[in-house]
Amino acid sequence: MPAMTVNERSPDTRERIHDAGLTLFNDRGYSGTTVRELADACDLTPGAIYNHYASKEALLFAIVDRVHDQADALLGDTLRVASREPAAQLEALAAAFTAFHIARPRETRVANRDYIYLPAGERDSIVRRRRRVRALFADVLRAGERDGSFSFGELGSDDAVQAASMAILNMVVLVAEWFDPAGPRSASDTAALHGRLALRIARAQADSR
Amino acid sequence: MPAMTVNERSPDTRERIHDAGLTLFNDRGYSGTTVRELADACDLTPGAIYNHYASKEALLFAIVDRVHDQADALLGDTLRVASREPAAQLEALAAAFTAFHIARPRETRVANRDYIYLPAGERDSIVRRRRRVRALFADVLRAGERDGSFSFGELGSDDAVQAASMAILNMVVLVAEWFDPAGPRSASDTAALHGRLALRIARAQADSR
DNA sequence: ACACAGTATGAACGCGTGTTCATAGCCTCG
DNA sequence: CGAGGCTATGAACACGCGTTCATACTGTGT
């Protein structure tokens, strides 16, 4: 049984490796990144990495797992603070999650793109978490359809809710692919804009306030 | 100067390699796929691959380039056939491109995800093509805003068109991540649905026909 | 029947990979 | 001061990588 690499004295080194992994995996992809590049980026030798992570895969999992923790926390908090009305909930969720993705472009890109390189068990656990996020958006859409604030009936498909929630989620999750921090639009403007666009997709009546 | 591997007698072998690359790159990612796996999947030895492609990278480029050719052709044809009205154009583009992505899940996923592994020159040429597609959608949205069939003014941002066109494009491009060919919704239903959702995003007045 | 171009082989090449390990330094605690 | 746990080193490991090459086979055109 390998060393568990716990109880370390300098968690900053672990954090530095985490951060370098974030940058390198984001730029070159997980399997396009070598442990030596990782070590160089932290001013370490390859061997030292293994005092903090059991393997390269373990680092990837730490990265992906953490950002999912943060996402879950954010979405939970947002729902808890928002009112009970589905329209307000949807707008708040889309805006908050957009801001989240703008603030963490590396984390979210690696999580979305490279989680397939995780070993089966860990990958499944991530896939399950992502499905729960999808379900959360779909539930809000269904609640709004029930109380009349959203409408999907005229779309011709018996479950347009899935397509609509995926449209919203993909809009939000991929914002960092085009958003330019140096551009004219601020992050919070863009977050608010995505909240409004989500309401358009759900065809909320009151979204032209 | 290396052999150019042209004028081959059996283009089917080249095609078999192309197809195996499609499947393997899709499943394991480009740099997660081995030339030996590629050869096994075609009942060849590794060396034989090089009679048909100059390198593993050349195969990736062939794959990515071809699907971009097809996409460009499809979008051009769609625009040519559609009426002059921006709403009809947008709906037709979104529907046709959705059907395209449902029909080619491997091609589009590899193109979207693994084009970063291309050498700089080829990667740039791909990036340029993708920007042209973005611009095509943005142009239709702007045309519709001009003639009054779309409206973005109340969204509070001076250029909500970019966000809206990215929302539409991401909805379309990522359809294969959730669409289930064995599910209750047919591909053409989903394509039509995406056409309608695109109109919702652009807030076309006449989309509730 | 012969020549030749296209194609596949299988062994090999050099190199880079993720990972391990014996060693040594450092820092804290007794 | 001395003991012991944490951490970094740098060399090494076994292995798999993309690619090359001499060779042989095959099928078509003359």
B116-137: pLDDT as tens digits: 999 999 999 999 999 999 999 9
Q: Is A84 exposed, middle or buried (0-12, 13-18, 19+ CB in 10 A)?
A: exposed
Which residue, chain included where needed, has tokens 């269904």? A142
pLDDT given at position A207: 47
Among A101, A197, A203, A209, the residue to mutate for chain B (most B Cβ within 10 A): A197
Q: Number of A to B CB contacts under 8 A, please give it.
A: 103
> In chain A, which residues have their Cβ closer than 8 Å to the Cβ of B95?
none
pLDDT given at position A3: 37
Among B165, B193, B199, the residue to mutate for chain A (most A Cβ within 10 A): B193
B93 Cβ contact partners less than 8 Å away, ≥ 6 residues apart = B75, B78, B79, B82, B136, B137, B140, B198
A167 Cβ contact partners less than 8 Å away, ≥ 6 residues apart = A201, B167, B170, B171, B194, B197, B201
One-letter amino acid of A101: H
Closest nucleotide to A6's CA, by C1' atom? D6
Closest nucleotide to A12's CA, by C1' atom? D7
Closest nucleotide to A5's CA, by C1' atom? D6
> In chain A, which residues have their Cβ closer than 8 Å to the Cβ of B163?
185, 190, 193-194, 197
Angstrom distance (rounded) from CA A29 to CA B163: 26
List, for residues B10-36, the tens digit of each pLDDT value: 779 999 999 999 999 999 999 999 999
pLDDT at residue B206 is higher than 70: no
A5 Cβ contact partners less than 8 Å away, ≥ 6 residues apart = A50, A51, A52, A53, A54
H-helix segments, B53-119: 56-81, 86-103, 105-114
Q: Chain D bases under 7 Å from protein CB? A: 5-12, 16-22
Angstrom distance (rounded) from CA A22 to CA A27: 9
* Closest chain B residue to the Cα of A172, Cα to Cα: B167
pLDDT given at position A153: 84
Is B192 within 8 Å of A156 when comparing Cβ atoms? yes
User: What CA–CA distances, in Å, run from A77 to A73, A90, A143, A148, A174?
Assistant: 6, 13, 19, 25, 22
Is B32 within 8 Å of A155 when comparing Cβ atoms? no
Q: What is the pLDDT along chain A (209 residues), one digit of tens a residue?
A: 333 444 566 779 999 999 999 999 999 999 999 999 999 999 999 999 999 999 999 999 999 999 999 999 999 999 999 999 999 999 999 999 999 999 999 999 999 999 999 999 999 999 999 999 999 999 999 999 999 999 998 888 878 999 999 999 999 999 999 999 999 999 999 999 999 999 999 987 644 44
Over range B43-57, report the average pLDDT: 96
List, for residues A181-202, the tens digit of each pLDDT value: 999 999 999 999 999 999 999 9
Would you tell me how many other CB atoms lie within 10 Å of the CB of residue A119?
Answer: 12
The protein side of the strand C contact, defined by CB less than 7 Å from any of its atoms, consists of A 2, 33-37, 46-47, 49-50, 55-57; B 7-11, 13, 43-48, 51-52
List, for residues B76-116, the tens digit of each pLDDT value: 999 999 999 999 999 999 999 999 999 999 999 999 999 99
Residue A144, phi then psi, degrees to nearest 5: -70, -35
Token code pair at residue A108: 């979210």
pLDDT at residue B207 is higher than 50: no
pLDDT given at position A2: 35
**What global pTM score does this model have?**
0.93
Q: How far is B81 from chain A (nearest CA, A)?
A: 24
Is A164 within 8 Å of B197 when comparing Cβ atoms? yes
**Is-contact A194 A175, C-beta < 8 A?**
yes
pLDDT at residue B151 is higher than 80: yes
> In chain A, which residues have their Cβ closer than 8 Å to the Cβ of B31?
29, 31-32
Angstrom distance (rounded) from CA A178 to CA B165: 11
**Is-contact B119 B58, C-beta < 8 A?**
no
Would you tell me how many other CB atoms lie within 10 Å of the CB of residue B56?
Answer: 19
- Distance in Å from D26's C1' to B20's CA comes to 25
Is residue A43 helix, strand or coil? coil
- Nucleotide C16's nearest residue (CA vs C1') is A34
Is A167 within 8 Å of B164 when comparing Cβ atoms? no
Angle separating helix axes A56-81 and A11-28, nearest 10 degrees:
90
pLDDT at residue B173 is higher than 90: yes
pLDDT given at position A9: 65
Token code pair at residue A147: 């109380």
pLDDT given at position B6: 45
Query: Which of B32, B163, B193 lies closest to A157 in CB terms?
Result: B193
**Is-contact B207 B87, C-beta < 8 A?**
yes
User: Chain A: which residues have CB within 8 Å of chain B?
Assistant: 28-29, 31-32, 113, 116-117, 134, 154-160, 162-164, 166-167, 170-171, 174-175, 177-178, 184-185, 189-190, 192-194, 196-197, 200-201, 203, 208
Angstrom distance (rounded) from CA A78 to CA A88: 11
Picking from A110-124, B41-55, B150-164, which range would have the lowest pLDDT averaged per residue? B150-164
The 8-class DSSP code of residue A207 comes to T
pLDDT given at position B11: 73
Read off the pLDDT band of B194 (50, 70, 90). Answer: very high
pLDDT given at position B159: 86
Over range B3-12, report the average pLDDT: 59
Would you tell me how many other CB atoms lie within 10 Å of the CB of residue A87?
Answer: 22
Is A163 within 8 Å of B194 when comparing Cβ atoms? yes
* Closest chain A residue to the Cα of B173, Cα to Cα: A170
